[in-house]
Amino acid sequence: MKLKQGDYFLIFMFLILGFSGLTAQKFTASTDATKVYENGTFNITFSFDNMDEKQLSLPDFSPFKVVAGPSKSSSYSFVNGKQSSSLSYTYTLQATKKGKFTIKPATAQYNGKIIKTNSINIDVVENNVKINGLGDQIMVKLEVNKDKIYIGEQVLLDYIIYTQSDIRDFNILNEPEYTGFYKMDVVKSNFSTQQVQANGKTYYTKIMKRVALFPQQAGSFEISPIVIQVGVPDPNSPRRGFFSSKRNKQLQITTNKININVEKVPDPVPADFSGAVGNVQVSNTINKNSTTTDDAIVLTQEVRCDGDAKTILPVSLDLGQEWEAYEPKVILDKTDEYNGAYHTVKRFEYLLVPRKTGVLKLIPKYTYYNPDSMRYITLSDDKFSINVKQGNRSVTTDNRDVAPINDILSVDNSSSGTIMASELPVPPLWKLLGFGLLGLALSFIGYKKYEQYKEDNLDPLLKKRRVAEEKAKNQLKQAKTLLDERNSRSFYDEISKAVTRYLSDIHHIPFSEQSKDKIVKRLGEKGVNNSDIEAYLDILKDCEMSLFAGQSGGNLQSTYDKAFRLLTEVGME
């Protein structure tokens, strides 16, 4: 087909317009500041002009810290036959130390090739200037209620703003990592504005944010500065009308840093120490004041503490020879916010079987460490008297009478005079050995019969608990070995697997559905107690924190005890 002269003209005009519509393609990096103050922030933006972004690879930002971003923005325009587009990603970085640093180029793919941005040079200098021309009219400080604490104790960290100016809004741009601590945000408390004197001036203060920190290990820890963005009226902006106000000016303020020293509870640690650290209240109740040797009583011990919930554990009751105590059951474990701090309530239930008859005393104790008085305190205010009567099984009575020696050994006193030792018959050695072996055999048989009798007459609930405890020990056998070896990482991995495996086996959950969410769903469908499901999730949380959050060590014994109690309770259902 031949082209006409007019066709050539149209093709020529199309090419001209097409090329004129194209604009330059660029991949660049830019910043809003090349000189920043130590602990200050700046923005870095990576822009794609007139090209499609594919596989953006960021450079290593160290020693800078990313505190916000990425924020994505895009634009498109078509003006006078020319089209242009832009796509950008912005990150807010914090300068963590003084010096001159270079941020290397970012890379991306375009048309099958690797393209790079320019590099960025940043000069970080000492922060010795006033804030954005406002002097010390606005300050933000990190403050703690105590800077020397013990493992398991709660410390409160406040972000407090001090101002002499009108504050329109604020935004916390970054938070510290709280290395060495478990953090819980205090969210229910409404902190009021107060007037204080600082540096000889009057300020209005308000707690912007409060976090409760629970130390997990001993050492000296630094809470790094944070950056707050504050909105204040811009004095240079004109009013847009009679009823309008001035526009806001956004300022970035860097706080101080905080050092916290964490210590272990002091030696010597009492043998009956519960692990609780803080302010503790304990109350004890029993379900009845009289029982028999075949039955058990239930002792309920409620512990309230403002320390770390993980360290609030049931104690092994030392009740002497009068009682047989079984592994306690956790029937309540609740942590809630009250008066600007966290408080935990735990309720432990003990099954106690009397070993003798009579009026038996029961004095439960609970030992904790009080940081304020710096001493261990044992609470034993509740005292109970239980009247125990004889049941079907034989036990020792409280008022045992010793039979006269004549009732045990009859001696012929018909002849006058004293029987001399030389007149007593001396049996041969083989008879002595024979009688001795016979006596041991009879004693062993009698002991076994007594144990069987005691087992046959034992409360069915107690027998069921014993079987469940034995199964739990078998399931956690490998975890117990790792606990004794203090192999924390392998221990938490084994605990997680053992608990999941046991729950899946006992409730017939196939391997294909053994993820956390699916197991919880199946347990709920099968009517498993909510407290058992919550205990399972709590154990997995402990394991995940230690395996993936860098909290090596931790309270291994506490996690083992939780797993043992859970498997025991599940085994009894």
Three-state DSSP string of 215-261: ECCCEEEEECCCEEEEEEECCCCCCCCCCCCCCEEEEEEECCCEEEE
Q: Provide the Cα torsion 233, 141, 207, 203; round to 10°.
A: -60
**pLDDT value of position 465:** 66
Q: What percent of the chain has pLDDT over 90?
A: 25
The CATH architecture one would assign to domain 273-389 is Sandwich (2.60)
Q: Which amino acid is at 525?
A: E
Confidence category of residue 211, pLDDT binned at 50, 70, 90 = very high
Closest CA to 358 of 389, 391, 320: 389
Paired strand residues for 45: 30, 90
**Both tokens of residue 125?**
């200098």
CA pair distance 281, 278, nearest whole angstrom: 10
Of the pLDDT bands very low, low, confident and very high (cuts 50, 70, 90), residue 404 is very low
Supply 369's token pair.
Answer: 């460490």
Residue 544 CB neighbours (<10 A): 14
Give how far Cα 389 sits from Cα of 17, 380, 500, Å: 108, 26, 44
Classified by CATH at the fold level, domain 138-263 comes out as Immunoglobulin-like (2.60.40)
pLDDT score at 7: 55
The SS3 assignment for 180 reads: coil
Q: Please tell me the predicted confidence (pLDDT) of residue 55.
A: 76
Q: How far apart (Å, rounded) are the C-alpha atoms in residues 263 and 510? A: 46
pLDDT of residue 490: 84
Task: Report pLDDT digits (tens) over 361-403.
Answer: 999 999 999 999 999 999 998 899 999 998 776 555 444 333 3
Mean per-residue pLDDT, 199-206:
84
Select from 148, 144, 175, 157 the least CA-distant residue to 66: 175
Higher pLDDT, 142 or 486: 142
Q: What pLDDT is recorded for position 83?
A: 73
- Among 94-108, 272-286, 516-530, name the one with the lowest average pLDDT: 516-530
Residue of higher predicted confidence among 384 and 415: 384
CA distances in angstroms from 131 to 200, 207, 301, listed in the order given: 19, 20, 55
pLDDT over 60 at 4, yes or no: no
CATH class as words, domain 21-125:
mainly beta
SS3 380: coil
User: What does each C-alpha distance from 122 to 34, 213, 225, 546 come to in angstroms?
Assistant: 5, 34, 20, 37
Give the DSSP per-residue string, 510-554: -GGG-SHHHHHHHHHHTT--HHHHHHHHHHHHHHHHHHHSS--S-
Rounded Cα distance between 375 and 22, Å, is 79
CB atoms within 10 A of CB 346: 20
Q: Given this model, what pLDDT does residue 16 score?
A: 45
Token pair 């919930």 is at which residue? 309
Its sign, for the CA torsion 355, 361, 362, 363, is negative
Cα angle at 506 between 503 and 512, to 5 degrees? Answer: 65
**In this structure, are residues 119 and 104 in contact, taking their beta carbons and an 8 Å threshold?**
yes
The model carries a pTM of 0.56
User: Which tens digits make up the pLDDT trace of 65-112?
Assistant: 888 778 888 877 766 667 777 888 899 888 888 889 999 999 988 887
Q: Which of 149-158, 372-381, 421-430, 521-530 has the lowest mean pLDDT?
A: 421-430
What is residue 371's predicted lDDT score, i.e. its pLDDT?
95
Q: Name which residue leads in pLDDT, 282 or 24.
A: 282
Question: Please, which residues bridge with residue 111 across strands?
Answer: none
Of residues 468 and 142, more confidence is placed in: 142
Q: Is the pLDDT of residue 235 over 80?
A: no
Cis peptide before 63 (omega within 30 of 0): yes
